[in-house]
Structure 1
Amino acid sequence: MSADDCEAGVMMMMSCCASCGIAERDEIKLRECATCDLVRYCGDKCQENHTAQHERACMKRAVELRDEILFKQPESSYLADCPICCLPMPLDLSKSIVAVCCSKSICRGCDVETQKREFEPVGNELWRKQRMKRIEANDPVAMCREGAEQYKKGDYSSAFGYYVKAAELGDVDAHYRLSLMYYLGKGVEKDGGKEIYHLEEAAIGGHPTARCGLGCHEWRNGNTERAVKHLIIAASMGHDGSIKFLMDEFRRGFVSKDDLAAALRAHQAAVDATKSPQREEAEACDRIRDTMHAKDSN
């Protein structure tokens, strides 16, 4: 059977109810199965009658559809670009700050340039007040940040609440942090299913650490091919841990030379894209500051 014949067959199936066979017309509107895109029904009764026959194919297709979303290479990491210099944000969060006025992340390079213009520094108390205002305005980034603060204090219940709300509003990092809470059992009961769900949601949203976590999970379960896919995607976003994992497994013979070479090129390109003279200057300033703090503490 040719590809054209197969396509015609699929079109014919989709134009009729999978249970009773009635064709779609003006007075009869068919609707797709809510789980897959394989069949359509004229009503709830027909869908219910067809469940036993369709269930296996439906679940298989649902997994395929989920994987299509899960293994799609994100256009960028969840951190996106710095709104000032428009370069990709570094994955190392210590190399960026969050503006209290809008909850936007700014790279340290632009932060240092801003400080040169003698803007008044923001104190911790004002920072928190501004963050709470953003939370009142349903800002998911501010919610996630507040959740992180509560987590540091050991108030896991409050942290969980902030993370859940932020995740519901689409914050990718909140999904990742929820996966950690379900993994560690802090503030919630350990739940492997919810842990993986939130890891997947974070990975789909462009969180490279979550993506690496999924790769490690698949590796432990013996799903080498899926693991390598996850790790290559994470490495392509500049994630150092993923590229190290791939290099280690290449030496053990589990990753092909071509896959590793492609991952190395993509990783280097992602890292190079985050560099700028201003960011290098900021790193130098931070090193000097850290050295001075170390001397003072001694």
Structure 2
Amino acid sequence: MSEDNMSNISCCASCGIAEVDDVKLKECATCDLVRYCSDACLKEHKSQHKEDCKKRVAELHDEILFKQPESTNRGILDPKQSTIKQCCSKVICNGCYCANKIREVEASLKSSCPFCRRAIPETDEGFGNQRMNRVEANDPVALRREGVLQYHKGDYQSAFEYFTKAAELGNVDAHYQLAVMYDDGHGVEKDKGKEIYHLEEAAIGGHHDARFNLGWEEGNNDNFERAVKHWIISANLGDDGSINILMEKFKEGFVSKDDLAAALRAHQAAVDATKSPHREEAEEYYRIEDNSNTEDC
């Protein structure tokens, strides 16, 4: 923060009175640039501060928006090689799932969740009961999954309600689903502003598809500097689509050689972090099983 701004926050931006024992200054409600000694001073200075305030709010928002998440919203798990347990909403990778199944078979154990130890249901009704138990407990993951189920059934109103509740409880995937709904207009009126809001909330939480889409939105508006920032962040999280488009934009002159090289290294590191011997064994197991099923057809 500049010396001028430091001066602004140590004195009332309107009347200039300094903060002392009997004078307490309060910050502007939306930015960190100025403080006021009273509501009267705030009101008097509002018109002068409006543009600076608006600019600073945008800067603060971008600081949050373009901060590199440490991982995706699923950590280092590849969504394509992991699943969510309905009984407790925990995520398990295919490697751990297969290792647990082998352990159960070798020890002649009844199949159960490796997290909560609940028995695996033997009927669709049992699975449905487990799912609804988590929904009724306001589990944000279960709420989001129920929203997806209702969406694919065509019950968009119910889907919207489940997604909204899950998003309010902090579920990143639910924000992305709401963005999709505001984009396609199923169950709600199309609203670009709300779509972008939910994409940004999801992207901040590490959702690389949301981040990728934000890059497209900026690119479509010819804001290529911002678009590239988004794609670099999602590439760093291991997103293949983002690294591919960065290579395209490098050829077009929108991405520097150094930035592309750094993104390629980070992308590979993120992909490598999702691998493990157990996960590779599981991938081979599923590949053999798929081939076996194909041969039986």
TM-score (norm 1): 0.90
For 2:18, the equivalent position in structure 1 comes to 23
1:43 deviation in Å?
A: 2.5
Q: 8 Å contact 2:235–2:263 — kept in the other structure? A: yes
Indicate whether 1:42 and 2:46 are aligned.
Answer: no
Aligned residue identity for 1:111: Y
Distance across 2 between alignment mates of 1:249 and 1:286: 36
**CA, structure 1 residues 127+30, in 2 after alignment: closer, same or farther (shift >3 Å)?**
farther
For 1:89, the equivalent position in structure 2 comes to 77
Indicate whether 1:32 and 2:27 are aligned.
Answer: yes
Deviations 1:77-106 (A, max 9, x none): 1002xxxxxxx211xx23111123321111
Aligned residue identity for 1:261: A
Aligned residue identity for 2:34: V
Aligned residue identity for 2:98: V
**CA, structure 1 residues 294+194, in 2 after alignment: closer, same or farther (shift >3 Å)?**
farther
Aligned residue identity for 1:68: E
For 2:245, the equivalent position in structure 1 comes to 245
For 1:117, the equivalent position in structure 2 comes to 103
For 2:284, the equivalent position in structure 1 comes to 284
Indicate whether 1:273 and 2:273 are aligned.
Answer: yes
For 1:78, the equivalent position in structure 2 comes to 73
For 2:52, the equivalent position in structure 1 comes to 57
How many residue pairs end up in the alignment? Answer: 283
TM-score (norm 2): 0.90
Q: 8 Å contact 2:5–2:34 — kept in the other structure? A: no
Distance across 2 between alignment mates of 1:282 and 1:125: 28
**CA, structure 1 residues 250+195, in 2 after alignment: closer, same or farther (shift >3 Å)?**
same
Q: Give the SS at the match of 1:291.
A: helix
Indicate whether 1:101 and 2:96 are aligned.
Answer: no
1:167 deviation in Å?
A: 0.4
**CA, structure 1 residues 217+28, in 2 after alignment: closer, same or farther (shift >3 Å)?**
same
For 1:229, the equivalent position in structure 2 comes to 229
Can you give the 5+ residue segments of structure 1 that lack an aligned partner in the other structure?
Answer: 81-87
For 1:259, the equivalent position in structure 2 comes to 259
Distance across 1 between alignment mates of 2:138 and 2:19: 43
Aligned residue identity for 2:163: Y
Q: 8 Å contact 2:200–2:211 — kept in the other structure? A: yes
Aligned residue identity for 1:98: I
Q: Give the SS at the match of 2:83.
A: strand
How do 1:197-212 and structure 2 match up within 5 A?
197-212=197-212
Distance across 1 between alignment mates of 2:35 and 2:233: 35
For 1:83, the equivalent position in structure 2 comes to none
1:295 deviation in Å?
A: 4.9
Cα RMSD of the aligned pairs, angstroms, is 1.7
For 2:107, the equivalent position in structure 1 comes to none
Aligned residue identity for 1:112: C
Q: Give the SS at the match of 2:150.
A: helix
Identical positions, percent: 62
Distance across 2 between alignment mates of 1:144 and 1:205: 15
Distance across 2 between alignment mates of 1:146 and 1:239: 26
**CA, structure 1 residues 171+44, in 2 after alignment: closer, same or farther (shift >3 Å)?**
same
Aligned residue identity for 2:284: A
1:293 deviation in Å?
A: 4.4
Q: Give the SS at the match of 1:24.
A: coil
Moved over 4 A (4+): 292-296
Aligned residue identity for 1:182: Y
Indicate whether 1:219 and 2:219 are aligned.
Answer: yes
Can you give the 5+ residue segments of structure 2 that lack an aligned partner in the other structure?
Answer: 105-109, 112-119
Deviations 1:6-59 (A, max 9, x none): 53x433321221112222233332111111100011222221211110000000
**CA, structure 1 residues 145+185, in 2 after alignment: closer, same or farther (shift >3 Å)?**
same
Deviations 1:181-220 (A, max 9, x none): 1011111100000000000000001111111111111111
Q: Give the SS at the match of 1:117.
A: helix
For 1:182, the equivalent position in structure 2 comes to 182
